[in-house]
Structure 1
Amino acid sequence: MTNEINNNQVSEDEIDLIALAKTIWKGRKLIIITVLIFMAIGVAVALLSPKEYSSSTTMVPQLSNNSSKMGGLSSLAAMAGFNLGDLNKSSGELSPYIYPQIVQSVPFQLELMNASYTFSAVDHPVSFYEYYTQHYTPGFLASLKKYTIGLPFVILSAIKGEDQTSGKTLETNDYIYLTKEQEEVRKILANGVTLETNDKDGYVTLSVRSNEAKLSAQIAQKAQMLLQKYITTFKIEKASAQLKFIEERYADNKKEFEAAQAALADFRDKNKNVTSARARTQEERLQSDYQLAFDVYSQLAQQLEQARIQVKEDTPVFSIIKPVTVPLEDNGSGLMTLLIWTFLGGVIAIGWIFGKEFLTSIKEKWNSEEAR
C-alpha cells in the first residue's frame, strides 16, 4: 500500500513538472520577445551609462610607543574579558575609527572640492566645484532621470526661485552655511570618496570613484594628503599650543636677559676703578638681575627644546603600503549589465506566463462554481 502511495506521489510530481514545461513551451514566443527586448535595453544601458573608475591607497598609521603598548595591553585585556578602551583614549592618540568621520566632514570635503584638478573636458586645471557648476554636462540617462522622475522637483525649484548662482561659503565660529549648488556638488564628491578601516591588520584604505581615470587618482592623492594634514593637526594641537606659548615667553625673556646683560656690562665699563660700597651694591643688584634673567632664560630654552621634541613625537607617521595609481579599467561591466537585463527579462516573461495561467485556472473554477 505504501509503495502505491509513493508511486502515485512520484507520478503526480512528474505530471506537474511536465505541465510546467508545457506551459513554458507554449509561451516560448513571449519569452523570446521579452528577453530580446530586455537585452536591447541592457545594451543601451551599458552604452549610455557613464564610466566609473576607482583609485585607492592603503595607509598604516604609526602610533606612538605608549599607544602601541597600550594597544597590546588592550588586546590582552580583551582576551581576558576586560575593556581598556577608555585608557587607550586617554593616551592622546586619535583613533583610526575617527578617520571616516574626518573624510565625511564638511570642512574636509569643502577643501577637497575647492582644490584644482585636471579634467579631460577643460584645457586648464579647475576646482571640482567649478567643473560641476560651469563645465559638466550630464549624460543621457542623468538628463532623462532629471526630466522624468525628477521633473516635479525641478518645477518646484523654479517656482521657489532658489538662488543657485552664489558659490560663496559663509563660515562663522558656530556654523558653516552652504549654498544649494555647493551642497549638491559636495554630495557628489562625498558619494565618491570612502575610507575603510581594518582593525585586525591595522591599516586604512581610502578609495575614490570618478568618471575619469586620472581624476580619480588626483582626488585620491589630494584626499590622502588632506587626511594626513587633518590628523596631524588634531594630534599635535595641544603640543603646538604649548610650543607657541613657550616661544612667546622665550622671546620676551630673551629681551629681558639681553637688557640685564647690557645694563651690567655698561655699569662695569663705567665703574672700573670705583671701589665704593654704593657702587659694589649697585653692581651686585645688577648681577642678581642678570643671574635671575639668565636662569629664567635658560629654563625657557630647555622647555622650548622639549616642546619642539614633543611636537615631533606627537606628529603621526603614515606608511603608504599601496600608493595611488591611475586605474586602467572602469568598474562597470557591459557584459554583466547585459546578463542582468537578460535574466530580468526571462524572469518577467516566465512570471507573466505562470501568472496568466494561474488567473485562468481561478477563473475556470469560479465559473464552474457558479454553474453549480
Structure 2
Amino acid sequence: MSQTSTEISLIELFDFLKERKVGAVKMMGISLLIGLIIAFTTPKEWRSYSEFIPESTNNSGVLGGALGGVAGLAGLELGEGQDGTFNPELYAAVLNSTPFLMNFLEHETYFESIGQEIKVRDYLKDHLKTSLVSRVIGFPKRIQNIFSSKGGSSLSDEAFDPGIMKIGREDIDLIETIKSRIGVDYNKGTSVVFVSFTMQDPMASAVLTEYIIEYLTAYVSDYQTSKQAKKLQFIQGQVKRKEVSFLEAQRALAAYRDSNLGLSNNLAQTELKNLQSQYDLEFNLYSSLKLQEAETRIKVEENTPVFKVLEPVKVPVERFKPKRKMILIIAITLGFLAWVLFVSIKFIIRTQLSPRLLGKGKAND
C-alpha cells in the first residue's frame, strides 16, 4: 500500500514539475546569466609546467673503488658510507617554504602584458587582476584587514631577533597567492615530478616555472652534496698545506745531497738518513691526502642528483583559466537543480503539510 502511494506521489510530483516548467526555464536563464558574468569577468590565466625524473646516483663508482683499493694498500681508511638522498615527496614542502616564497617575490622577470621587467611582488600588488566573484567574497576580509591594521601593535626593529624572519600582513597575503599558483606533484609509481606555475602572463608563467625548477634542483643538489663538499673543501686546504711541507723536505734532501757528495763519514750518513725519513713521511702524508681528495671529489659527483627532463617548460598557447564552457554547464545544472529542489519543497508543503494543518484545525473546531 505504501509503495503504491509512493509511486502515486512521485507521479504527482513529476506532473507538478511539468506544470511549472516555465519556472525551470527562468531559473536556468538566470543561472546562465550569472555563469556568463563569472566566465567573462574572470581574468585569463596561463599555466606552464614541466615533468622530470630525479635520478639518484649514489653508488660507488669503478674509479672510486679502485682508489679505495689503493688507499687500502697504503693503510688508509677512506670510508664507503653513502649519503641519504632527498625524498621527492618533500619537493612541495621546499616550494611552500617561507624563505623560497620570499625570494620568489623579490625575483625580477619580464611581463609581456605590461611590457616591463619588475619584481613578482610589484606585479601581484599593482597589475594582478581579480574576478568579480573574488572581489565580492574578499570584501569582508579587506574590511577586517583595514580595522585590524589600525589597532595592531608592532615590534620595534631594535627588539626584534635578527635570526627570525619578520613578515608583514601584506607579504603573508602575497605568499598565499603564490602558494595557490604553484603546483607540485610526485608520482611514486613512475617517479615523475610535475611542477607548474599559473600566471596572467603566458611568458612570465614559463619563465617563473623555469625559475622554480632551477631553485628546486639546486636545493636538492646542495642537500645531497653539502656534506661531501665541505669535506672536500677541508681536505683541499690540508693538501695545500702539506704540499708546502713536502716540497720543503724534498728541497732540503736534494740540497744536502748536492752539498755532501763523496762524504762517507757517519755524521753525514746519519743526517742524510734523517732527511730521507722526513721526506718519506711528508711524501706518504701528502700522497694519502691526495687520495682522499680524489675519493671525496668522486663522492661529490656521485651524490650530485641528475634530473632527466621528460617535458620541458614551454610558453603556453591556450589559456588554463577560465574554463568558460564548464562554468556555463555547471551554472545551468545548478540552476536546474535549484528549481527542482524549490518546486519539490513547495509540492511537499502543499500535499503533506497543508492537509495535516487543515485536519488539526477541524479537530480543534
Shorter-chain TM-score range: 0.7 to 0.9
**Cα distance in 1, alignment partners of residues 49 and 244 from structure 2:** 52
1:160 to 151, 159, 165: 151
**Residue 261 of structure 1: aligned partner:** 250
How many aligned residue pairs are there?
337
What residue number does 1:367 align with? 358
Q: Cα offset for 1:117?
A: 1.9
Deviates more, 1:54-63 or 1:273-282: 273-282
Q: Distance in 2 between matches of 1:118 and 1:139?
A: 23
Any stretches of 5+ residues in structure 2 without a counterpart? 61-80
Deviation at 1:276, TM superposition (A): 4.6
- Write out per-residue CA displacement over residues 192-212 of structure 1, whole angstroms, 9 at most, x where no aligned residue: 212211111222211222222
For 1:266 and 1:125, locate their aligned partners in 2 and report how far apart those are by CA, in whole Å: 66
Does the 8 Å CA contact 1:31/1:346 hold for their aligned counterparts? yes
Report the counterpart of residue 100 of structure 1 in structure 2.
Answer: 92
Residue 221 (structure 2) pairs with residue 232 (structure 1): yes
The equivalent residue for 1:308 is 297
- Residue 71 of structure 1 corresponds to none
**Distance in 1 between residues matched to 2:259 and 2:59, nearest whole Å:** 57
- Contact persistence 2:53–2:191 (CA under 8 A): yes
Q: Distance in 2 between matches of 1:233 and 1:346?
A: 56
Q: CA deviation at 1:20?
A: 2.0
Unmatched segments (≥5 aa) in structure 1? 68-88
**Which among 325, 341, 365 is matched to residue 314 of structure 2?**
325
2:111 partner SS: coil
Partners of 1:158 and 1:104 lie apart in 2 by 26
Paired residue for 1:346? Answer: 336
SS for the counterpart of 1:118 is: strand
1:39 aligns with 2:29: no
Residues 230 and 265 of structure 1: is their aligned pair in 2 closer, same or farther, counting only changes over 3 Å?
same
Matches of 1:13 and 1:139, distance apart in 2: 46
Corresponding residue number in structure 2 for 1:30: 23
TM normalised by structure 2 equals 0.82
Among candidates 52, 57, 61, match of residue 64 of structure 1: 57
Q: Is the 8 A contact 2:43 2:130 kept in 1?
A: no
CA distance in 2, matches of 1:159, 1:96: 43
Distance 1:103 1:170, change over 3 A: farther
1:119 equivalent in structure 2 = 111
The residue aligned with 1:74 is none
1:9 Cα deviation after fit = 6.2
| Comparing 151-160 and 266-275, the one that deviates more | 266-275
Q: Partner letter of residue 133 of structure 1?
A: K
Partners of 2:119 and 2:239 in 1: how far apart? 42
Structure 1 partner of 2:346: 356
> Does 1:336 find its partner at 2:337?
no
Distance change in 2, residues 1:367/1:152 (3 Å): farther
Q: What CA RMSD, in Å, does the superposition of the two structures yield over aligned residues?
A: 2.9
Q: Which residue of 1 aligns with 2:276?
A: 287
Choose 319-328 or 129-138, whichever is displaced more.
129-138
Quick one: higher RCO (CA 8 Å, sep 6+), 1 or 2?
A: 2
For 2:239, the aligned partner's letter is Y
Match runs of 1:132-143 below 5 Å = 132-136=124-128, 138-143=130-135
Q: Which of 9, 13, 16 is residue 20 of structure 1 equivalent to? A: 13
**In the superposition, relative to structure 1, how do residues 305 and 137 fare at CA in structure 2: closer, same or farther (>3 Å)?**
same
Q: 1:129-153: CA deviations, max 9, x gaps? A: 2322354454444333332x32442
